[in-house]
Amino acid sequence: MSEIARPADAVRRRGPPVTLIAGLLLILACEALLIVDLAGRGIVPVVEPLPPPHGPLAVLARLAAVLMTPLCWTGFLLAADGAFAWRGDSPVRRHPRRFALAYATSIPVWLFFDAVNFGAIHAWTYHGLPQSLPLRWAGYVLAFGAISPAMFLVAEGVIRTRFGTVEGRPLRFGMGAHRIMIAVGIAFVVFPVFVQEPIGALTLWIGLALLLDPINDRLGAPSLLADWRAGWYGRTVALLVGGLVCGLLWEFWNYAAVAKWTYNLPFLGPLERLRYFEMPLPGLLGFPPFAIECWAAFQTIAWVWNRVERLPPVEPVGPDDVL
């Protein structure tokens, strides 16, 4: 895996693609409207009622503040596609069906994490959600659907740099190692449900990766274990970076929004007060493995999808790709 194969002779477009411009403008418009909304309310504790907006601009600004996360991440996906396309090779356009499946399956994957949280550990809470159910559900779809594709696109950008060529000593994994990883993965997934406390978050962000990646390896689906067996660690590094970058952006766009989330991680002790916006600093360590979990889950879903005869096939992820 010493070189990443890309269309080196692709001609850069004369001007930036429409999606790049549209995505950046959407993000900038949301940021500007958020500033307008903040001028009338400030960043207040979520338990306080917000003053109602007055005037068309204030109403529009409040709507943007409520939908900050779904709108900004939609803009991010558009801008990322445009940035790749401007360089001549967008994975969104090269494999639109695969991108669509990643977007669609990102929703149930995240709902799994929400189910564990609200059913057991209560480590995070949503606030300020739209009163209108259609608007709320539209926000859910846009926000949750962007989770996996956003991390994969960042990782796709990283893998096209020198970090994508990271190589090392090949690691060998036998059937016994697979069984151990699967058993540990199951234990890590079950632990939050068993303890019924926020401390369960410690295993929630790695359990699915330990469970699904060895299963993918045995099925012949793309897996990080197969990469490591070949002595290639570029995709692993790219996913870790993708998770961290998106985590930093999630917390940044979340902090001043009206519809937002906050954390409850008392097991961190005094460290819970050291925060990056709403996230306690140690919690940032959960974002990199979260990207690997989502990627492993997507590979499992794609493998199953391609074995249902009536469904249109989705191209498997290539040996040098993330998305």
How long a stretch of residues is the chain? 323
The C-alpha angle with vertex 315 and arms to 309 and 316, in degrees rounded to 5, equals 105
Contacts of residues 224-228 at CB distance under 8 Å and 24 or more positions apart, as own/partner, are 224/292, 224/296, 225/173, 225/178, 227/1, 228/170, 228/171, 228/173
Q: 147-159 and 96-116 are packed helices; what angle lies between their axes, rounded to 10 degrees?
A: 120
* pLDDT at 9 > cutoff 70: no
Q: Report if residue 178 sits inside a domain.
A: yes
pLDDT in tens, 190-227: 999 999 999 999 999 999 999 999 999 999 999 999 99
Count up the domains in the chain and report the number: 1
pLDDT band at 11 (very low <50, low <70, confident <90, very high): very low
Q: Report if residue 5 sits inside a domain.
A: no
Q: Which residues of 87-114 are buried (b: 16+ CB within 10 A; e: fewer)?
A: eeebbbebbeebbebbbebbbebbeebe
Q: Report if residue 237 sits inside a domain.
A: yes
Residue with tokens 């009206």: 258
Strands 260-263 and 279-280: unpaired
pLDDT at 229: 94
pLDDT at 97: 94
Q: Report if residue 170 sits inside a domain.
A: yes
Query: What token pair was written down for 89?
Result: 């090779």
Query: What token pair was written down for 14?
Result: 């004369």
Q: Report if residue 61 sits inside a domain.
A: no
Q: Report if residue 63 sits inside a domain.
A: no
Domain interval for residue 124: 94-305
Report the amino acid identity of residue 264: N
* pLDDT at 48 > cutoff 90: no
Of the ranges 58-72, 170-184, 227-241, which one carries the lowest mean pLDDT score?
Answer: 170-184
pLDDT band at 173 (very low <50, low <70, confident <90, very high): confident
pLDDT in tens, 113-162: 999 999 999 999 999 999 999 999 999 999 999 999 999 999 999 999 88
Q: Report if residue 98 sits inside a domain.
A: yes
* pLDDT at 13 > cutoff 70: no
Q: Report if residue 266 sits inside a domain.
A: yes
Q: How far apart are CA 74 and CA 143, in angstroms?
A: 8
